[in-house]
Amino acid sequence: MESKIINEIEIRRAKREISEEQLAYVKANLPDADYWAMKSPLIILVSTSLELDCRLNDKRDYALFDVGLAAENLILQAAREGPIAHPIAGFKPLTIKEYFGIPPEYILITLIVLGYPGDDSFLNEKHRALEHSGRIRKSFEEVVMYNSWIKKEKG
Ligand SMILES: Cc1cc2nc3c(=O)[nH]c(=O)nc-3n(C[C@H](O)[C@H](O)[C@H](O)COP(=O)(O)O)c2cc1C
């Protein structure tokens, strides 16, 4: 199946809607630990303001919930079409916000780094091992509780 996301990126690159200069600026404001993001052709800035959505007085701010859902949909759809999308929290939010003119009341909650699966020889040992290993997830019992918050004892 042809990839819509890849096609879209290529069209936008051709139209110069994706600026190499701005992409390079974002990359320059990532920590060394995000070296793997340097090959990405597209980094998506995910931002929202708490005022854009329902705010309840028991600390429920739905803007972050909603933007998280949108990010997850994007990540899943990217994986379906080909590119891999990694959300990251390691970046300089204030510097990047200022550069892109994101208003102060907006939260730059994550960057989504898009990349194509390919040669992994530039990855460090730890990341290369992670790339090819299975994922360890918490057990169902640890994350789902029935009828009360009290966790069932193991064994
Ligand atoms: C909120 C959040 C922030 C993350 N920040 C970083 C980061 O700064 N640097 C990094 O290398 N990975 C970061 N990750 C992890 C990667 O994006 C990770 O590859 C992704 O969560 C997929 O997990 P998996 O590779 O275990 O399937 C972050 C993940 C989440 C959910």
Range of the domain at 88: 4-117
Whole-prediction pTM value? 0.89
Q: How far is the CA of 40 from the centre of ligand 1 (A)?
A: 15
Say if 125 falls within a structural domain: no
CA dist 113 and 17 (Å) reads 17
- For every residue of 41-78, DSSP letters joined together read SEEEEEEEEGGGS-B-TTS-BHHHHHHHHHHHHHHHHH
pLDDT of residue 2: 60
What's the mean pLDDT in 92-99? 97
Count: domains in the chain: 1
In-domain check, residue 74: yes
Residue (of 28, 20, 147) closest to 96 by Cα position: 28
The mean per-residue pLDDT over the stretch 52-76 comes to: 96
CATH number of the domain enclosing 81: 3.40.109.10
Which of ligand 1's atoms lies nearest the C-alpha of 127?
11
Q: Say yes or no: CB of residue 88 within 6 Å of ligand 1.
A: yes
Residue 9 scores a pLDDT above 90: no
The CB of 90 under 6 Å from ligand 1? The reply is yes
CB within 8 A of 58, min separation 6: which ones? Answer: none
**Torsion-angle region of 63 (φ positive above 0: left; ψ -120 to 50: alpha; else: beta):** alpha
In a domain, 80, yes or no: yes
Ligand 1 pocket test, candidate residues 36, 67, 74, 86, most atoms within 8 A of CB? 86
